[in-house]
């Protein structure tokens, strides 16, 4: 199995923060979190398997069908060969139902390459384990020094993605736990689970 997806990373953490302050500390610099209305961001495509994390692709603008087909050709297919070698023909590939993934040209390319696709519902509990990896990546990046430009953001992204051993191990763990995750969702009839 190979699970894939795109994600956006921002220069500044875009989550809500709560700050506890004592009386008189409202404007103290340690009690203020700077926000940017429209932070600079970068979109990336990646994949995971029991072998860890894949090559990354920095998306130019919005992912469109032609760019996605090229990602499959230049990133995914070589990665599958590297990970699985002679067993590459037995790999099942997961992608969501984003329009660029389901475009006619992309479907034709996938069929021509002999890639087996995992049937993935359009509206469902998001069980793609790479979502957990994206969250972990963002958390790790936000703990580090704040990037001030796109180049620094991409450099930090690549450093964490390729060199953080915990991220790679977590990717492997997420894949091996998929049978339990699916079973939990079935048991909960599509509702919330601990995964």
Residue 70's domain is classified under what CATH number? 3.30.420.10
So what's the pLDDT on residue 35?
Answer: 60
Q: Is residue 192 part of a domain?
A: no
Q: Report the alpha-carbon distance of residue 94 to residue 46 in Å, rounded.
A: 12
Give the domain extent around 116: 2-16+30-187
Nearest CA-CA partner of 2 in 38, 37, 41, 52: 52
DSSP letter for 42, please.
E
Q: Report the alpha-carbon distance of residue 161 to residue 158 in Å, rounded.
A: 5
Q: Is residue 93 part of a domain?
A: yes
Q: Is residue 118 part of a domain?
A: yes
Q: Is residue 23 part of a domain?
A: no
- The CA distances from residue 62 to 11, 23, 123, 155, 157, in Å, are 18, 46, 21, 20, 18
So what's the pLDDT on residue 13?
Answer: 54
Q: How many domains does the chain have?
A: 1
This prediction has a pTM of 0.83
**Beta carbons within 8 Å of 22's beta carbon, 6+ residues apart:** none
User: At 70, phi and psi to the nearest 5?
Assistant: -65, -35
So what's the pLDDT on residue 5?
Answer: 94
Q: How many CA atoms lie within 13 A of 124 on its CB side?
A: 15
Q: Is residue 73 part of a domain?
A: yes
So what's the pLDDT on residue 168?
Answer: 93
Q: Is residue 25 part of a domain?
A: no
Q: Report the alpha-carbon distance of residue 31 to residue 67 in Å, rounded.
A: 43
Q: Report the alpha-carbon distance of residue 90 to residue 81 in Å, rounded.
A: 11
Q: Is residue 116 part of a domain?
A: yes
Residue numbers in the chain where pLDDT is lower than 70: 12-19, 31-39, 122-125, 144-147, 195
Q: Is residue 149 part of a domain?
A: yes
């Amino acid at each position: 199995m190979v699970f894939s997806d795109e994600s956006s990373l921002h220069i500044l953490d875009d989550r809500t923060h709560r700050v506890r302050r004592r009386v008189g500390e409202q404007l103290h610099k340690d009690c203020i979190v700077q926000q940017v209305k429209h932070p600079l961001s970068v979109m990336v495509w990646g994949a995971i398997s029991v072998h860890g994390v894949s090559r990354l692709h920095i998306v130019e603008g919005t992912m469109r069908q032609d760019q996605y087909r090229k990602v499959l050709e230049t990133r995914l297919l070589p990665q599958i060969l590297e990970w699985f070698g002679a067993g590459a023909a037995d790999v099942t590939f997961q992608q969501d139902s984003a329009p660029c993934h389901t475009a006619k040209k992309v479907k034709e390319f996938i069929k021509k390459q002999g890639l087996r696709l995992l049937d993935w519902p359009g509206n469902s509990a998001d069980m793609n384990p790479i979502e957990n990896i994206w969250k972990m990546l963002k958390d790790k990046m936000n703990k580090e020094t704040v990037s001030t430009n796109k180049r620094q953001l991409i450099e930090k992204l690549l450093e964490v993605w390729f060199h953080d051993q915990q991220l790679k191990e977590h990717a492997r763990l997420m894949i091996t736990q998929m049978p339990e995750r699916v079973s939990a969702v079935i048991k909960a009839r599509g509702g919330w689970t601990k995964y």
